[in-house]
Structure formats: C-alpha cells, structure tokens
Amino acid sequence: MSLPPLTPEQLVKPRHFELRMSLIFATLFVSLGTHLPYFPLWLQAKGFHAEQIAVILAAPMFLRVVTTPLLTALADRARDRANVYIALVAASMLLAAGYFLPPTYAIVLVVSLALTVVWTPHSPIADSLALSGVRRFGSNYTSMRKWGSISYLCANVVGGFILARTGAEAVPAIIFVALAAALAAGLLAPRLGRPRRASPLSAADIQHSAPTLLNAYFLYFTLGVGIITASHAFLYGFVSIYWKSIGISDTVVGLLWAWGVVAEVCMFVMFTRIFGSVSVATVMLIAAIGAIVRWIAFPLIWPLGLGIAGFFGVQTLHAVSVAMVLIGLQKMIGETVSEERTGAAQGIAYFFNGFFMAVVTLASGPLYDRFGVDGFLAMIPIALIGLALIALAARSAPQRSVGG
C-alpha cells in the first residue's frame, strides 16, 4: 500500500528541526538514566524489602505492555504528535511528584503504575517525530538520537556523584527536575502534523498481521529475544542494591552503569565491521552465550577478590548480552519481514520483551531476598531457554531474505 502524498504544509521543514529533536532526546533520557540504576536504591532506603521492590518494579512493566501501544497509536491519530508528547511529559512530571508523598508501599505502587502509563510512550513518540523528519526532509536519525545515549550516560555518572553527597533521598527530585527539563524541551518540539499512515503498533494492526508473522522462525526468534532480555531483570532490579551492600560507593555504582552503556555504544559502532557477514541467528547465539557467561561471573567477582575491576570487566559484556540482542532483532526484522508489517513485528517483539521482563523481575525479589547475589545463577537457565529458542529459530530460518 503506497503512502498518501505529503501536503504542502508537510513539505515545509520546521526551523532547526535536528537541533530541536536532539534537545528532546537529550532531556528525555536523563530521567530514564536516573530511574533504572537508582530508583531501587531509593526504594530500599525507604525500607521496602526485596519482594516489595520487585512488585513495584514489575507491576508497571505488565501494565505498559498494554498501554504503550494504545497511546502511541493515539498519538498518530492526533492533530499533532508533539502535542501528545507534551501532554504526556507534563502528566509524567505531575505524577512523579507523587514520590514526594509519604512513601508507603501502596502510595509508591500506585504512583509507579500511573506514572508508567504516561512515561513509557515518551521515547517511541519522540522516535516517531524524528523518523518523520528522516523520511520527509532527509534528516539524520543517529545524529539526533545519539544525544539520548549521551544524556543517559551522563545521568548514570552524575547521578552517582549526587547520591554520594545526598544519599538516595535525591532520586525523586532528580527524576522530577529531569521531567521538567523534558517538558521545557517538548514545548519546542517541531510540529509535523499527523503521520501519513497511522502507527502499525496498534492492537488492531498487530492482530491483522499476526497470522503472517507468527511463522516458526519469527516466533522462535522473538520469544528467544524476549527471554534472553528478561534474564537481565535481576541485574536491573538488584545489582545497585548489591553493589551498595558490599561497600561500593554511589559514585562507582554510577560509573559501573555508565561503563555498560559505553560498551553498548561501542558495539553499535563496531558491529557491522565485526559481525556484518555473520548470520543473525549466530549473532543471537553469541549474545545468549554472553548473557550466560555474565550471570556465571557476577556472583564470583567479589569472592574471588577481583574487586571493582572485575565488575567493570563483567559490565563490558553488556555489549554482547544487550547490544547484540537489540541489533540482532532489528536485523532479523529487516531481513525477513516485509516493510508494511515491520511495525506489527516490532509490536509483537515489544510485547514478548515486556511480558517476560516483568515476570522475571517479579521473581527476582524473592531470589535476592533469599540468595543475595547468587540469585544471578537463576538467570542462567532463563538465558539457556532463550539460547535453545534461538537454536530452534536457526533450524527454521528462511533460505533468503524478504527482499531476495
């Protein structure tokens, strides 16, 4: 199906489009780069035990799997997606202020659930705006999106320095201020009107396209990706708490998180040069093995006396267990899914990733409560299941690409 032609208004490039989108990405990822490593520390500081932390982290994941595709589809049907983005950022800032209320378990859980509904769509809507600029005006996506990675990295590092001085009490304030900055940048968002075709991430489109996508190769592959990704749930939920428990400072915790992001970016830069001729199934098998090695190594670093240097070493595997999974998934979709169904493919992959991550995050609380860092060992069989699914995908791989 061909796209309808651009209107005369849509052919006019907004002034400083790339600069304005770069600012949106830069402010968008500060709050995310603070929440992932430091929000569990704040929860622990407020007296929540590991099982409660797991529920507070996991429950929003279950919810956003349903709500995010609906809101992104709504944004595509609005008069202008920028207006929806601004409204969602403003709502996020107001709801984040809920963390300043007395931090009872019920209040924090309700605030987290409400916040995830309006917070999670920020990134896909910003991506949608940027990609419209790529299609209409020939803008460079990576030159805009890189500022999100840079700000995420800075949030990891600077957040660690701030917490070293203030303690975990500062986490809600950092998130609130970061969302306020994102709102200020959002007010400058370029207006592009509606996209020429509604987002294929809607539930209706996914349902329509699913019968042609859920072949054995696609199903095994996306399930494998979701499960390998989910094996990182224990890391995301409890590694900061573990590092603090063995006396590692907030500053170093931030640097360890940032080092994983640096390794991830390096893989994005070098992937084509190193793995450009490797099959996508092989790429994913390497990623799964990298995850397994990572979960074996984590509980051994401190007992073996490898110290902080050992944790930096194992964090380098983020380039394999995370970056290669992200790249491999997109490479598979690009090679085997026709263009008009790529959005539905992304939506199905998003569902698997989100659902399995939520399930394993929920289980990670009792694991950490009972076994501490040895809970990483429970991530090994999860990654092995993902490895087996990728192996099954490799056996059913199509003989040629969709464009072949």
Neighbour-count burial of 400, counting CB atoms closer than 10 A to its CB (0-12 exposed, 13-18 middle, 19+ buried): exposed
- Read off the pTM: 0.85
Q: Return the residue matching tokens 């659902």.
A: 355
The single-letter DSSP state of residue 389 is: H
Mean of pLDDT over the chain: 88
pLDDT for residue 49? 95
Reply yes or no on whether the pLDDT at 167 is more than 70. yes
Q: Which tokens belong to 404? A: 């072949």
Sign for the pseudo-dihedral over CA of 202, 204, 209, 215: positive
Q: 215: helix, coil or strand?
A: coil
pLDDT for residue 20? 93
Reply yes or no on whether the pLDDT at 330 is more than 70. yes
Task: Measure the CA–CA gap between 198 and 137, rounded to whole angstroms.
Answer: 19
Reply yes or no on whether the pLDDT at 229 is more than 90. yes
Lowest average pLDDT, out of 176-190, 345-359, 371-385, goes to 345-359
Segment 143-159, tens digit of pLDDT: 888 898 899 999 999 99
Task: Measure the CA–CA gap between 259 and 239, rounded to whole angstroms.
Answer: 14
**Which whole number is the average pLDDT over 182-210?**
66
Segment 198-227, tens digit of pLDDT: 444 444 454 444 445 668 888 999 999 999
pLDDT for residue 329? 87
Lowest average pLDDT, out of 31-40, 330-339, 360-369, goes to 330-339
